[in-house]
Amino acid sequence: MNDDIDRELPMDVADALRDREETLAVAESCTGGLIGAAITAVPGASDYFDSGLTTYAYDAKRRHLGVSREALDEHGAVSEPVARQMAQGVRDVTDTTWGIATTGVAGPTGGTEENPVGTVYIGVAYAGPWGSETSFATVSRYVFDGDRADVRARTVDQALEDLLEAIDELQ
């Protein structure tokens, strides 16, 4: 499998966010900064991209994103509740319109029966205008095949696709 990240997706994200005059921040664990790198490969990304946080350790997720100790302790870092809190946390601490979060088991070790190698949770959080009660966060679970590079590259692409889908649903 080719581990290259889709070059069109970051351009599509750029167009969608510019058109809506919205902003984005990312919180990455298993992707280690690859989403931020893909987004900033687009010239003019500073128009819509605020920041990327690589919060790999439990304490980093708690300290920088406000992920609760309970969520980490009860569910583990690779879980739906943690992905949701990461996406909401990065959105809120950076005061952006959108937050994306990734957490998963890229391999080759670290898998469990519940979360085998290749399991990734991607969170997308939206900040609606104050008083609109339209803010939301969604999380999707994926299991990707391939080696560590494949899983990470597929996660980047899927995260950008999930963001674009969420943006499209608001229109």
- pLDDT tens by residue, 16-59: 999 999 999 999 999 999 999 999 999 999 999 999 999 999 99
Instruction: Name, in order, each residue with C-beta under 8 angstroms of 24's C-beta and a sequence gap of 6 or more.
Output: 13, 17, 39, 48, 49, 50, 96, 97, 98, 99, 100, 163
* pLDDT one-digit tens code per residue, 93-111: 999 999 999 999 999 999 9
Counting residues of the chain whose pLDDT is more than 70, the rounded percentage is 97
The whole-number average pLDDT for the span 70-89 is 97
Domains of the chain: 8-170 (3.90.950.20)
**Tokens in use for 63?**
């300290």
Residue whose entry in the numeric block shows the structure tokens 């937050």: 99
How would residue 67 be classed by pLDDT, with cut points 50, 70 and 90? very high
Q: What angle do CA 34, 138, 16 make, to 5 degrees?
A: 60
The whole-number average pLDDT for the span 128-139 is 97
The helix (run of H) or strand (run of E) holding residue 65 is helix 58-65
How would residue 1 be classed by pLDDT, with cut points 50, 70 and 90? very low
pTM confidence score = 0.95
pLDDT value for 47: 97
Residue whose entry in the numeric block shows the structure tokens 């609606």: 128
Three-state DSSP state, 114: coil
Instruction: Name, in order, each residue with C-beta under 8 angstroms of 8's C-beta and a sequence gap of 6 or more.
Output: none
